[in-house]
């Protein structure tokens, strides 16, 4: 057998360190609570309510990203215009801004001191401490993940396919419906998963805009603050398990469809 060089062993050991770094805390957290505690926790109405709120606000954020982000992603993938790089950088901004800053920024336009806040309050829309506010924050932080995933999905579809479709008599809309969408929907689904995964994990921005109603990460934080580690662990286990299960189901659905088509 050929003797492996030291470099090989360095790469392997670095890899093992990283695996351990990620897995040990997670496994510890997942296995710490006893089954009876887990059962007790899931019967707690506050916990169920907060997990459900987390899931559906994150889902709503993903739907909003889908509706508004898809056309934008298409334009960014297909056309070159002046200021395109600027637009792309603006879309990436929510990724790099510290989370509490996002919350403060959103609150600062939602108050009565700002014309947007004035319009909202006249329409009866409340941002501070409301589900609407949570959705606004989650959309803000999740959008870049959706737009970027779908943009690269569109970029992978040769424009020539659309050209051929047009020349065969299809309008722009028919071309999108019959060619572009069927070829891009998988990347849209991945975008939706990425966007909602990012949204569901948001804490810093939400806690500033809406401490109540409580989403799961805020509840987790509150349990930790008031009762300690032992009481926050079961909530964490449920949140992580439910999210993983949801994403797994989505992935399986897409893979199965990929084989059929």
Partner 1 sequence: MISIDNINIELGEFSLRDINLTIEKNEFFILMGPTGAGKTVLLEAMAGLIPVNSGHISISDRDITRLPPEKRGVTIVYQDYSLFPHLTVHDNITYGLHFHKVPRGEAKKRFDRLVDDLNLSHLLQRLPTNLSGGENQRIALARALIVNPEVLLLDEPLSALDPGFREDLRKGLKRLHENTDATFLMVTHDFSEALSLADRAAVMDGGRIKQVGGMKEIFQKPESTFVADFVGMKNLFAARFHDTKAVIDSLEIELGRSPENGPGYIAIRPEDAILSREKLTSSMRNSFKGRVTEIMDLGLFYEVGVAVEDVLFKSLITKSALFDLEVLEGSNIYLSFKSTAIHTF
The residues binding partner 1 (CB under 8 A) are 158, 160-161, 163-172, 174, 178-179, 182-183, 261
Rounded to whole angstroms, how far apart are CA atoms 71 and 151?
Answer: 10
Minimum Å distance from CB 190 to partner 1? 17
Q: What are phi and psi of 196, to 5 degrees?
A: -75, -30
Rounded to whole angstroms, how far apart are CA atoms 67 and 144?
Answer: 13
Nearest to 135 by CA among 209, 240, 74: 209
Minimum Å distance from CB 172 to partner 1? 8
Q: Which is nearer to partner 1, 167 or 226 (CB)?
A: 167
Burial of 88 (0-12, 13-18, 19+ CB in 10 A): middle
Minimum Å distance from CB 163 to partner 1? 5
Neighbours of 14 (CB within 10 A): 10
Rounded to whole angstroms, how far apart are CA atoms 56 and 195?
Answer: 13
Minimum Å distance from CB 181 to partner 1? 10
Minimum Å distance from CB 252 to partner 1? 20
Q: Which is nearer to partner 1, 36 or 80 (CB)?
A: 80
Cβ contact 237:38 at 8 Å: yes
Tokens coding 201: 């994990």
Rounded to whole angstroms, how far apart are CA atoms 237 and 259?
Answer: 33
Nearest to 243 by CA among 44, 30, 28: 30
Q: Which is nearer to partner 1, 109 or 161 (CB)?
A: 161
Cα pseudo-dihedral 3, 7, 13, 16, rounded to 10: -100
Minimum Å distance from CB 41 to partner 1? 45
Minimum Å distance from CB 169 to partner 1? 3
């Amino acid at each position: 057998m050929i003797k492996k060089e030291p470099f090989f062993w360095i790469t392997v050991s670095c890899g093992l360190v990283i695996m351990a770094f990620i897995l040990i805390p997670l496994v510890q957290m997942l296995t710490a609570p006893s089954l009876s505690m887990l059962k007790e926790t899931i019967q707690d109405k506050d916990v169920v309510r907060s997990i459900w709120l987390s899931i559906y606000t994150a889902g709503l954020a993903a739907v909003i990203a889908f509706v508004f982000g898809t056309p934008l992603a298409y334009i960014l993938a297909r056309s070159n215009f002046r200021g395109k790089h600027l637009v792309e950088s603006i879309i990436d901004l929510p990724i790099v801004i510290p989370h509490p800053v996002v919350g403060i920024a959103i609150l600062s336009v939602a108050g009565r001191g700002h014309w947007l806040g004035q319009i909202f309050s006249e329409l009866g829309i409340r941002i501070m401490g409301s589900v609407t506010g949570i959705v606004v924050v989650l959309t803000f932080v999740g959008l870049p993940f959706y737009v970027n995933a779908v943009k690269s999905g569109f970029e992978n579809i040769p424009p020539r396919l659309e050209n051929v479709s047009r020349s065969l008599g299809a309008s722009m809309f028919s071309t999108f419906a019959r060619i572009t969408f069927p070829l891009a929907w998988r990347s849209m689904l991945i975008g939706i998963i990425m966007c909602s995964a990012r949204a569901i994990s948001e804490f810093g921005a939400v806690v500033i805009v809406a401490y109540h109603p409580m989403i799961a990460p805020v509840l987790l934080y509150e349990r930790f603050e008031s009762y300690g580690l032992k009481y926050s662990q079961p909530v964490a286990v449920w949140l992580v398990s439910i999210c993983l299960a949801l994403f797994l189901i989505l992935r399986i659905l897409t893979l199965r469809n990929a084989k059929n088509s």
